[in-house]
Amino acid sequence: MPEGLIVKALSGYYYVKDDKAAPGEPTTQCRARGIFRLKGKPPLVGDRVVYELTENGEGTVTEIKPRTSELIRPQVANINLAVLVFSVKEPDLSLNLLDKFLVHIEHEGLDALICLTKMDLIDEEDTQTREEVQRAKELYTSIGYEVLETSSPQGLGADQLRERLVGEISVFSGQSGVGKSSLLNAMFPRLDLLTSEISLRLGRGRHTTRHVELVELEGGGYIADTPGFSQLDFLELDVEELASCFREFVPLAEGCKFRGCTHTHEPGCKVLAALERGEIAASRYKHYLAFHQEIKDRKRRY
């Protein structure tokens, strides 16, 4: 039986792109076997599936291949790259919000690419902003994240980002007004993405459509047409899991004196020792403490 990728789900139908289909060829409209819903595991956009064709030219999804990842908000499977789009000016770069996004990315087990936009807005004489951006780039690169500087008007970074997306199923997220749409339009003029930006004030995504869709890219790969991580309130994250979402904490935590160390006050804490030596950025640790408290306060409310 044929196999393919679910690129859209709408009104009980799943639109499958056959593995053997050429770029631009139409998808097959499918229903799913009822057993999936009975088990509480219906197909998702991004699922690799086996399907069989029916007499009316449609199809039936008969098998869902194992998933490498599964997001709850938005509901999409097998995303393997999250592109976090943050501007350096208008609005200014928010490392607190960036770290919050990174925590969610790490918790979901995805790769992350930090994309710094609007580099063209930094005036030549604005050395302070340029130095702040350079320090941020060095910080996150040292932790192990990919960081790319871009400018839609200048075309800066467009080729590198386009190459990075080849073969990936990626989702774009970021703070409001960062120029995400402009960036995507500059790279892929033929795309007609309906995504809206993430609301910084509400921490929720505004979207002009209610369904998730994978948009095929020239050269291979897909972008999820979705507002991305639509809530950043740590609902799926326990306080014990937070430290593992800070990459630089993980190798240190193994040497802490106490098992289950919170890295906030315990003697013999390797994270606190590294902080004192300047091996962990003060901004990252400050955000860790703030997120730690936020999760604890949420638990008390519920």
Residue positions forming the annotated binding site for GTP: 117-120, 174-182
The binding site consists of 117-120, 174-182, 256, 261, 263, 269
Q: Is 15 helix (H, G, I), strand (E, B) or coil?
A: strand
Give, as one character, the DSSP assignment of residue 54.
-
CA distances to 35, 115, 150, 151 from 129, in Å: 56, 16, 15, 16
105's CB contacts (< 8 A; 6+ apart) are: 82, 84, 112
Biggest CA–CA distance in the chain, Å, is 70
Q: Tell me which amino acid residue 122 is.
A: I
Range list of β-strands (E), the chain? 3-10, 13-18, 28-32, 48-53, 59-64, 70-71, 76-77, 81-87, 111-117, 146-149, 169-174, 213-216, 222-225
The binding site for Zn(2+) consists of 256, 261, 263, 269
